[in-house]
Amino acid sequence: MTPALASPSRLTANLICMASMLIWAAGLPAADLLLKAIPPLSLTALRMSLAAAVLLPLWLALEGGGVMARAQWLRGIAVGGLGFGVGAYLLVFAQSRTDAVTVAIISATMPAIGIALECLLDARRLRAGLMFGLTLSLAGGLLAYGDKLGAVGFGVGALAAFTSVICFTWGSRATVAGFPALSPIGRTTITLTGAALVTSLAALLQIGLGGPASDWPAIGMTEIGALAIYGIGALAISQVLWIISVGQLGIGVAALHINAAPFYVMLFLYALGGSWDWMQVLGAAIVGLGVLIAQGLPRFNRH
């Protein structure tokens, strides 16, 4: 008898998605540090450009210039600019107006948005197991935040964060659906390059019109290290893993994993000398159960 959910591809996709969320979570504290010296739009452009600078030569080395030349670059610029460029800017703007905890809590709405998109665009049926899994994922994520929920505001920052989640969720689905001939590294690179172009042009325009400028003297080795974590780790690497998992699981199920982010942040803080929070462990366990149920309870095939 073989458990249906224990197939290597399905199990691997969930593990890859967990790794993506773990790496992404490391970027939230890094953004808090960087926003002290760099305005949101400039920070977004720097982050996207750094990710593209890492991924473009990697894609070239792995698959060659022919694949890159035949890729649909205009579509990549459109999807990347709207889904990830605008989405990433709104996320950083939201964090500049609120904090990392508020942004992460609002990001917990991503599974609901992802499932809604699948229902609207892919005619996905709402199964009872999927809805129960979604409920558990949301409950586990909210439980992990505990008393921090009371500090969440609902002003401009929160609205920007929610809009960012919609953009990112749509962009993730469009990246997988819109570039079927490309590998995950190709899909990620073409859209993040598009996001880098759009946000860089917007940042240059903002500076040219007299907008806020970066405080370059305040940027030292600590900030450079934080930018590397934010751009290379929490975007370039995390996004490749994310697109792989979305391609295997669908945006709705993959997004359920984001509600374990508080647990991952706690792990980072614990490694740096922070305290262990069993409530966050319980929340992550409930999220994991929700992910399992959303994909179908384990079934056994009799031979």
Strand, helix or coil for residue 153:
coil
Q: Do 176 and 240 meet the contact criterion of CB atoms below 8 Å apart?
A: no
Query: What count of residues does the chain have?
Result: 303
Strand, helix or coil for residue 123:
coil
Residue owning tokens 């999927």: 130
d(CA 275, CA 294): 31
The more confident residue out of 204 and 145 is 204
pLDDT digits (tens, 9 = 90+) for 280-298: 778 778 888 888 888 775 5
* DSSP string for residues in 124-152: ----HHHHHHHHHHHHHHHHHHGGGGGG-
Strand, helix or coil for residue 301:
strand
Residue 17 above 70 pLDDT? yes
Q: What is the pLDDT of residue 61?
A: 97
Angle at which helix 238-249 crosses helix 8-25, to 10 degrees, equals 140
- The CA distances from residue 238 to 2, 6, 70, in Å, are 31, 24, 25
- Residues 6 or more apart whose CB falls under 8 angstroms from that of 202 comprise 41, 45, 85, 89
Q: What is the pLDDT of residue 156?
A: 84
d(CA 190, CA 179): 9
Question: Stretch 53-69: mean pLDDT, rounded?
Answer: 96
Q: Which tokens hold the place of 63?
A: 């698959």
Domain containing 154 equals 2-301
- Residues 6 or more apart whose CB falls under 8 angstroms from that of 135 comprise 290
d(CA 10, CA 263): 23
End-to-end Cα separation, the chain, in angstroms: 7
Q: Cβ atoms within 10 A of the Cβ of 180, count?
A: 8
Handedness of CA 262, 248, 252, 239 (dihedral sign): positive
Question: Stretch 62-72: mean pLDDT, rounded?
Answer: 96
Amino acid found at 22? L
**DSSP single-letter state for residue 300:** E
Whole-prediction pTM value? 0.84
Burial zone of 253 (CB within 10 Å; 0-12 exposed, 13-18 middle, 19+ buried) = buried
Q: What is the pLDDT of residue 150?
A: 52
Residue owning tokens 């990710």: 51
Q: Which tokens hold the place of 27?
A: 């970027």
Q: What is the pLDDT of residue 303?
A: 42
pLDDT digits (tens, 9 = 90+) for 138-197: 787 777 666 555 555 567 888 898 999 999 999 999 999 999 999 999 999 999 999 999
> Phi and psi at residue 300, in whole multiples of 5°?
-120, 130
Number of H helices, E strands in the chain: 15, 2
Return the closest-CA partner of residue 292 out of 8, 4, 1, 2: 4
For the chain, the domain total comes to: 1
